[in-house]
């Protein structure tokens, strides 16, 4: 990381080893923010994309290892079709328009979630961005799309069950690492910090297994209002906490 003048002194005073390595964000409040501005809900989603760009660039600049964004939950398909169609359009547009930013920031993109129900043209652009960025060696940008924590666990259990049924694994060999290895996030470190915007105090079926020991930080700001200063505030708060992981500290 280059410690430029953009990084506030308060953050630079925090020992680097106390920063989160993996940050996960539930990006909530796009629609509410838009309604408060007298705008259609879809305009909130459009402005939310700008926040994605700002926070992705800043996390990469700060040297975080991973950023996981909750883009579309498996429950979001219940929303009005017009809103769903617009979200798919935004996702496709993002995959095309942000490629330069992704490559300039040496970011690697990965999708977490089920591919079912996502339009083919959206998947095609997503796959192209994933492939294009695969040679980068910087921060991982994990996009949770059509994602549900329970669905992820179901998929993992099915995969493990298939291996047991095929005689490739015994029931007694199944442990926590086995389950982790079969999640969408296989090979990734678990999030250290989970941020939720818009003041909501729930995890909404997001990374149920992976956030077992993550610190949680909630802000009243809606996602379109979430900026670099708010990110720095969250990191500083995280660094001030005494993480016990179920044990005791002196």
Q: Could you tell me how far CA 232 lies from the centroid of its own chain? A: 17
Residue 249: CB atoms within 10 Å: 7
Please say if 137 is a catalytic residue: no
Please report which helix (H) or strand (E) contains residue 217, including its range. strand 215-218
CB 193 within 8 A of CB 217: yes
Using alpha carbons, list the distances in angstroms from residue 42 to 89, 128, 243: 11, 26, 39
- What's the rounded Cα separation, in Å, for the pair 172 and 178? 11
Please say if 105 is a catalytic residue: no
Residue 224's nearest CA partner among 89, 66, 59, 49 is 49
Q: Could you tell me how far CA 216 lies from the centroid of its own chain? A: 14
- Report the b/e string of 13-48 with b at 16+ CB within 10 A: eeeeeebbebbbbbbbbbbbbbeeeeeebbbbbbbb
Catalytic option among 28, 142, 190, 192: 28
- Report the b/e string of 164-198 with b at 16+ CB within 10 A: eeeeeeeeeebeeeebbebbbbeebebbbbbbbbb
Going across the sheet that includes 140-147, the strands are: 108-112, 140-147, 66-73, 22-26, 193-196, 215-218
In which residue are the tokens 């398909």 written? Answer: 77
Catalytic residue numbers?
Answer: 28, 76
């Amino acid at each position: 990381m280059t410690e430029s003048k953009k990084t506030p002194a308060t953050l630079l005073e925090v020992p680097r080893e106390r920063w989160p390595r993996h940050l996960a964000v539930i990006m909530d409040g796009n629609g509410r923010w838009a309604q408060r501005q007298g705008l259609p809900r879809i305009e909130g989603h459009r402005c939310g994309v700008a926040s994605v760009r700002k926070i992705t660039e800043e996390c990469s600049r700060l040297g975080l290892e991973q950023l996981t964004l909750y883009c579309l939950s498996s429950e979001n398909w219940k929303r009005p079709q017009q809103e769903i169609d617009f979200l798919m359009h935004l996702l496709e547009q993002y995959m095309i328009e942000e490629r330069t930013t992704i490559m300039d920031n040496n970011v690697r993109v990965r999708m977490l979630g089920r591919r079912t129900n996502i339009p083919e043209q959206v998947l095609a652009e997503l796959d192209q961005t994933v492939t294009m960025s695969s040679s980068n060696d910087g921060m991982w940008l994990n996009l949770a799309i059509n994602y549900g924590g329970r669905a992820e666990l179901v998929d993992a259990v099915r995969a493990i069950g298939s291996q047991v049924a095929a005689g490739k694994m015994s029931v007694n060999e199944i442990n926590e690492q086995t389950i982790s290895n079969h999640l969408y996030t296989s090979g990734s470190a678990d999030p250290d910090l989970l941020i939720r915007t818009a003041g909501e105090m729930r995890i909404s079926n997001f990374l149920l297994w992976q956030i077992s020991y993550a610190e949680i930080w909630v802000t009243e700001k809606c996602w379109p209002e979430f900026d670099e200063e708010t990110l720095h505030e969250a990191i500083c708060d995280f660094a001030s906490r005494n993480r016990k992981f179920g044990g005791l500290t002196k």
